[in-house]
Structure 1
Amino acid sequence: MTTALRRLRNYIDGEFRDAADGRTTEVVNPATGEAYATAPLSGAADVDAAMAAAEAAFPAWRDLVPAERQKVLLKIADRFEERAEELIAAESENCGKPIALVRSEEIPPMVDQIRFFAGAARMLEGRSAGEYMEGFTSIIRREPVGVCAQVAPWNYPMMMAVWKFAPALAAGNTVVIKPSDTTPASTVLIADIIGSVLDELGHSRGVFNVICGDRETGRLMVEHKVPAMASITGSVRAGMQVAESASKDLKRVHLELGGKAPVVVFEDTDIAKAVEDITVAGYFNAGQDCTAATRVLVQDSIHDEFVAALAKAASETKTGAVDDEDVLYGPLNNANQLKQVKGFIERLPAHAKIEAGGEQVGEKGYFFAPTVVSGLKQGDEIVQQEVFGPVITVQSFSDEKQAVEWANGVEYALASSVWTKDHGRAMRMSKSLDFGCVWINTHIPLVAEMPHGGFKKSGYGKDLSSYGFEDYTRIKHVMTSLDG
């Protein structure tokens, strides 16, 4: 006997629907490697329907006073808390994530982020009205951009959906969002939650729509004539394709792409504390995080001691089943990602040394051991390219100048950290590091009030914070004659 697969469906204009042509794709639980559901493989007809729903709902949603949009978002946050166990179960099955960590590390910040943007809806700021030409008064209006086409990734499908829909809805936009084809379950559940809130408060359910599908579905969304903005969190390649597609009709684009965060550890650092924090920041979520602490640069005087301590910490770090409360991370998200991580290890140069891990673990699923690789050079593939797995690389540097050069010497520029007791050095490094975020003596904490976003091939635009909120608005100048 075979177990019947659960059927996930698109959410368009308040209705759960199959793809118009009936096509589906299987959804696999990465902890088992087995399919547990099917999801629509949406095509042009589905994209058209979702965009039409969002477009029809936009005028009424745009014209609501901010307090009304705030009320909706606060109710959504409340409902996330009420249905937390459903969301946790969906995300754990989606990604193979440890249940306890989804409960403690994802639900609370998501709820907080929705509530932050609920407040931000009522705090749009701009220059005050004034007379900049004699006889005329100028006013600045901030307005929503319109329908937003949003594509979320598979590493944090639930949280990244929040990062996208919350600021967009708060600013008065309507949304069509596509989860990754490997992780649609939690986003479909979010649609049920948001749809019910919109219905209860008397608003069109077309304000929020979910369509499942693959890269082709995403391309159809971005190239569609209705959206005024396309937002994607994903790979550099995907971001470039979105930017190119959006350029055909000059859509606004918001891109949060890859990362290769340098972790610069100076000789005056508390090694034990640094290793403890870097281990968590490097292996959490199986290293599948654009800001993960996976590229460590250590001053040569403490290199050997640091590597030994890090290798020991890696060997003591657990990966495993979703119900094991002692594990730090679960599996890689899919078979292709496991193959990619293995490939980096298999192609290591002769001068590299695997200090810990380096292999797949378990008889089923896509688990990979916590890994430390030392002896690397700046030009090595594993140093330059994003592994997106539980692999921490270590390089040795001689002085501050070399640390800055090597830290900045990659195509990515999302996040970084500096570890030192020297305040002046920390300030110099924070100025010199060419990354959108610099942590000092920590790595990876995020708060809703502060922006998240990078430079160079890590993309442009900000998530979270008032800056992320403003990205979903446009500016209009209104000038009126004082002569009446």
Structure 2
Amino acid sequence: MHHPDTATQDRFPAQDRFADGAQYIAGRPAHGTSGHTHTVLDPATGGAVLTYALAGTEDVDAAVAAARDAFPGWAGAAPGERADALHRFAAVLAERAEDFARAESLQCGKPLKLTREFDVPGTIDNTAFFAGAARHLEGRSAGEYSGDHTSYVRREPLGVVGSIAPWNYPLQMAAWKILPAIAAGNTIVLKPAELTPLTSLMFARAATDAGIPDGVINIVTGTGKEAGEHLVGHPDVVMTSFTGSTGVGRRVAEIATATVKRLHLELGGKAPFVVFDDADLDAAVNGAVAGALINTGQDCTAATRAYVQRAHYEEFVARTAALMETVRLGDPFAAGTDLGPLISHAQRDRVAGFVDRARAYARVVTGGEAPQGELKDGAYYRPTLIADAPQDSEIVQSEIFGPVLAVLPFDTDDEGIALANDTPYGLAASAWSRDVYRANRATREIKAGCVWVNDHIPIISEMPHGGYKSSGFGKDMSAYSFEEYTQLKHVMFDNTAVVRKDWHRTVFGDR
């Protein structure tokens, strides 16, 4: 048994807070029944944060049953009632903002300034947005499209949603899964990553404290193989939303397809960052470093491939490397820390493997190593810039999920856009230019679910997030996400009161 060290308990008392278990079913915490335990580690120190019993299939069944039982009452509530509950939920989250920030920083290794200024406020804003959106679930108004009938469209909730969230943004991804589902009148069972369950459990507890009925939000914390696959394949789950790697997404799709579930996938990314020769180079350099290093590069929309028109290529490489070298690695809880560790030592070693293999075919301009000294026990890796890699190389084509940016030159606009599109992914991209026509062309022709112009990373609750190609399908956030979590029903009334309709002659008799 791993015992949390005193330092991690001082940062956030996880072992005390989750003494009743790391499952949340029917409005109450519970211990998992799989017979196995997992220890959450602080990636900044390697110290134990929380040891808990993992969920087994029986826990998933109990959570789905709780969600199924809660569905009729929640689906039948007036939209205004659901909206009021979500407004209260947002208020509870705001009261507990610092608590959430500290828990997220502890389990993920994110600097506190990131969790305080991005993860937590973004989640509160999402909750407030869906509180408002809950009152705007509308079908098409009535019309006489055949001449003899009145038609209208209803939007109805689906039932029990079974979703799986990743470890890179545990709080925000939990919110992205839960909020549109419950705002539309569904109930949900969410499986967070076993590495990072703390804030998902706190999110569900806050919902209960805000008056959202028991069973509307349930959390099962277990392995993907046992809890995740059982949840996706469960006959009472009508929809699955998954965020994670494309490889695991294929497995989720395979299971969901076997039971004919609605499916929403937000998968990997390899976002291009296209810098044309008329771009503001200062803005592009700053944007590249911020866009590549946010969350230590563990972001599926992070800038990972910078394509720079040849006239500015060498200057961009030199200036971007110099700015990367000013980024301060350190304790996530310490003032002045810019960049925390990766999620685990295994992930750090995976990133290092990509970089080490790239030395054979590319130039490592800066970084490319784990720091020593006081950071040696954490899963840290220096911000890394790689130049001159071939377009078909691993470092350019594969998702690394670390603080690594590859920079490649291009000559013509046609070539820059073609290179940007030349991966299996299509989640996000950015174009950097002062020319409105050039930028507008890039936004039309780059195949990605989000294309920024002269910026890279910002997201807002009102706008959809989701990918093209192997980055998946379906949208998170925005009113568009309701389309993922509702069923359309066409209702048609006869207006004639005629017993024998004209079309009946196709079955019996003549006109």
**Are positions 1:265 and 2:275 aligned together?**
yes
| Matched residue, 2:171 | 158
**Are positions 1:186 and 2:199 aligned together?**
yes
| Matched residue, 2:104 | 91
| Matched residue, 1:208 | 217
Counterpart-to-counterpart distance in 1, 2:203 and 2:380: 27
* Superimposed CA distance per residue, residues 194-228 of structure 1 (whole angstroms, 9 cap, x where no aligned partner): 12223xxxx53111100101112111100011110
Shift of 1:40: 2.8
Equivalent residue in structure 1 for 2:189, among 176, 184, 187: 176
Question: Match of 1:289, as an amino acid?
Answer: D
> Quick check: 1:281–1:293 contact (8 Å CA) kept in 2?
yes
**Are positions 1:70 and 2:80 aligned together?**
no
> Quick check: 2:238–2:262 contact (8 Å CA) kept in 1?
yes
Question: Match of 1:215, as an amino acid?
Answer: G
Equivalent residue in structure 2 for 1:222, among 229, 232, 241: 232
> Quick check: 2:3–2:50 contact (8 Å CA) kept in 1?
no
**Are positions 1:239 and 2:252 aligned together?**
no
**Are positions 1:145 and 2:158 aligned together?**
yes
> Quick check: 1:182–1:334 contact (8 Å CA) kept in 2?
no
What SS does structure 2 have at the residue aligned with 1:166? helix
Residues paired across the two proteins, number? 480
User: Aligned runs of 1:272-351 on 2, under 5 Å?
Assistant: 272-351=282-361
Counterpart-to-counterpart distance in 1, 2:460 and 2:182: 20
| Matched residue, 1:134 | 147
Question: Match of 2:353, as an amino acid?
Answer: G
Shift of 1:2: 7.6
Shift of 1:240: 0.6
* Superimposed CA distance per residue, residues 131-167 of structure 1 (whole angstroms, 9 cap, x where no aligned partner): 1123211110001111000111000000111111111
**Are positions 1:402 and 2:411 aligned together?**
no
| Matched residue, 1:413 | 426
Equivalent residue in structure 1 for 2:262, among 252, 277, 280: 252
Change (3 A) 1:4 1:247: same
Give the alignment's TM-score, normalised by structure 1.
Answer: 0.97
Shift of 1:31: 0.9
> Quick check: 1:140–1:475 contact (8 Å CA) kept in 2?
yes
Counterpart-to-counterpart distance in 2, 1:419 and 1:21: 51
Percent of residue pairs identical: 45
**Are positions 1:422 and 2:397 aligned together?**
no
What SS does structure 2 have at the residue aligned with 1:364? coil
Counterpart-to-counterpart distance in 1, 2:461 and 2:128: 9
| Matched residue, 1:479 | 492
* Superimposed CA distance per residue, residues 240-298 of structure 1 (whole angstroms, 9 cap, x where no aligned partner): 11100001110000100110000000111121121112211110100000100121000
What SS does structure 1 have at the residue aligned with 2:190? strand
Give the alignment's TM-score, normalised by structure 2.
Answer: 0.92
| Matched residue, 1:15 | 28
Change (3 A) 1:4 1:386: closer
* Superimposed CA distance per residue, residues 41-68 of structure 1 (whole angstroms, 9 cap, x where no aligned partner): 1111001000000000001100111000
> Quick check: 1:256–1:453 contact (8 Å CA) kept in 2?
yes
Shift of 1:122: 0.7
| Matched residue, 2:119 | 106
Counterpart-to-counterpart distance in 2, 1:218 and 1:263: 34
Shift of 1:22: 4.1
Find runs of 4+ consecutive structure 1 residues off by over 3 angstroms: 1-5
User: Aligned runs of 1:380-391 on 2, under 5 Å?
Assistant: 380-391=393-404
Change (3 A) 1:21 1:385: closer
Change (3 A) 1:388 1:427: same
Shift of 1:349: 5.0
Shift of 1:4: 5.1
Shift of 1:21: 4.2
Which moved further from structure 2: 329-338 or 215-224?
Answer: 329-338
> Quick check: 2:342–2:348 contact (8 Å CA) kept in 1?
yes
Counterpart-to-counterpart distance in 1, 2:200 and 2:484: 22
> Quick check: 1:117–1:469 contact (8 Å CA) kept in 2?
no
| Matched residue, 1:363 | 376
Question: Match of 1:208, as an amino acid?
Answer: I
Shift of 1:350: 2.8
What SS does structure 2 have at the residue aligned with 1:121? helix
| Matched residue, 1:450 | 463
Counterpart-to-counterpart distance in 2, 1:118 and 1:4: 37
> Quick check: 1:284–1:328 contact (8 Å CA) kept in 2?
no
What SS does structure 2 have at the residue aligned with 1:89? helix
Change (3 A) 1:447 1:18: same
Equivalent residue in structure 2 for 1:32, among 45, 62, 71: 45
Which moved further from structure 2: 6-15 or 83-92?
Answer: 6-15
Counterpart-to-counterpart distance in 1, 2:421 and 2:140: 36
Where structure 1 has 5 or more consecutive residues not aligned to the other structure, the ranges are: none
Shift of 1:425: 0.6
Q: CA RMSD in A?
A: 1.4
Counterpart-to-counterpart distance in 2, 1:391 and 1:243: 30
Counterpart-to-counterpart distance in 1, 2:83 and 2:53: 32
Where structure 2 has 5 or more consecutive residues not aligned to the other structure, the ranges are: 6-14, 498-511
* Superimposed CA distance per residue, residues 457-482 of structure 1 (whole angstroms, 9 cap, x where no aligned partner): 10000011111122111100011112
The structure number with the bigger radius of gyration is 2
Which moved further from structure 2: 108-117 or 3-12?
Answer: 3-12
Question: Match of 1:34, as an amino acid?
Answer: G
